[in-house]
Amino acid sequence: MRYVIYVILASIIAYGLVVLYSASYSAGIKKFGDSSFFLRRQLIWILIGTAAMLVVSRINPQFWQRTAPRLVFFSIFLLFILFISPKFSLTIKGARRWLKLGSYVFQPSEFAKFAVVIYTAYWFAKYGVPKKIREMLSLLLVVGLNAFFIMLQPDFGTGMVLVTVFFALMWIVKVPFKNILSMFLVLLVFSYIYVTSSTYRLNRIKAWLNPWEDKLGIGYHVIKLKTAIGYGGLIGVGLGREAEFVGVLPEQHSDSIFAVLACELGYVGVVILFVFYFLLILSLYRLLMASLEKKKGAVFEYVAGLGMIFIIAVHIFFNIAVNVGVLPLTGLPLPFLSYGGSATLMFFIEIGFILAISRFAEVSSRKRRRIRL
């Protein structure tokens, strides 16, 4: 099954690189005088990510369980550094989301999602399923601090991914529904305060509800996305021709890459992508469940493995939902298609973690058979 995942992942990456080059070549020429600038940099991150995935796949999941508290507090530390050390932070378009180390930049929020999943799995494995909210206060504090610093950047999209994955994990371990509902209502209140406290965020909601009210201003991005997707039709307008028909999309090589794909390759291209993603998520889930059959009572592996799958699946859903207008605009990458080093690296690591669960479950199973013999 692991080799099936490698084949599916390689297919998505190859498909994504074709779409990324088509979406980014004009931006590469305009900004850097090089049509393949974004493609080459993405290839480097894919190679780094592949190496990281293979390394992580050989690390015993118990290592992550033992180091979970240090891992999640290191995540909080990295997020905190963004606000106390301008020397090591990079601000783009008013958002302070990147740590800067020389010529290299990294988004700590991408690491935070991984760390929160690991810590949540560690917490449930250690303390079990709480019956009352007050029994979860230590866990809620840790998750809340990560979410708080991410929202402060501001990065509402990544914050919502983290919170969505956390709620999904509470549901799968069967935290009482009334507790989940109570926390969700509190989250709605905080979300309302967060959105209404900023004119910029309010404008995004207005653009989502009625983009035509200001079609050349706050509604421009939403209208362009919908126009591009609708223009593609069944088979699309052809690779590299999106700009000829609908003009250049904002962030077309990253957040808007799905709209570029839909425009240039049409519904056929979209269906191919959906099939690839479905096969990837299904294969990861089946591999995880098969591994857990060999290792009964592995609460940490169960929660953490599903958490990694949730991160990838939620990213896919949120990005596509934003592009088609189901959700308000927010900057989230589409896994293995969007340009971006930090996200690409962490997607590979998350898959590597699931591969590690499978590998060490097999090792454990072989040891038990030898003992019986």
Ramachandran sector of residue 174 (left: φ over 0; alpha: ψ -120 to 50; beta: rest)? left
CA angle 40, 4, 335 (to 5 degrees): 40
Classify the C-alpha dihedral 229-235-236-240 as positive or negative. Answer: positive
How confident is the model over 80-91, as a mean pLDDT? Answer: 78
Q: In what order do the strands lie in the sheet with 89-92?
A: 89-92, 95-101, 104-106
Q: What is the pLDDT of residue 144?
A: 93
- Distance in angstroms (rounded) separating the CA atoms of residues 117 and 308: 7
Q: What is the pLDDT of residue 297?
A: 66
What is the percent of the chain where pLDDT is above 70? 93
pLDDT at 371 over 80: no
How confident is the model over 67-86, as a mean pLDDT? Answer: 90
pLDDT at 175 over 70: yes
DSSP state, residue 235 = T
Tell me the pLDDT tens digit for each residue of 130-150: 989 999 999 999 999 999 999
pTM of the shown model: 0.93
Yes or no: say if 142 and 119 are a contact pair by the CB < 8 Å rule.
yes
Q: What is the pLDDT of residue 62?
A: 93
Tell me the pLDDT tens digit for each residue of 305-359: 999 999 999 999 999 999 988 888 887 899 999 998 899 999 999 999 999 999 8
Q: What is the pLDDT of residue 354?
A: 96
User: pLDDT tier at 182 (50, 70, 90 boundaries)?
Assistant: very high
Q: What is the pLDDT of residue 70?
A: 96
User: pLDDT tier at 276 (50, 70, 90 boundaries)?
Assistant: very high
Of 175-179, 243-247, 359-363, the range with the highest mean pLDDT is 175-179
pLDDT at 152 over 80: yes
Classify the C-alpha dihedral 278-279-281-285 as positive or negative. Answer: positive
- Distance in angstroms (rounded) separating the CA atoms of residues 121 and 71: 13
How confident is the model over 5-26, as a mean pLDDT? Answer: 93
Tell me the pLDDT tens digit for each residue of 27-72: 888 888 888 889 999 999 999 999 999 999 999 999 999 999 999 9
Q: E strand or H helix at 313, and its extent?
A: helix 299-324
- Average pLDDT over all residues of the chain: 88
DSSP state, residue 59 = S
DSSP state, residue 34 = -
Of 170-174, 197-201, 235-239, 329-333, the range with the highest mean pLDDT is 170-174
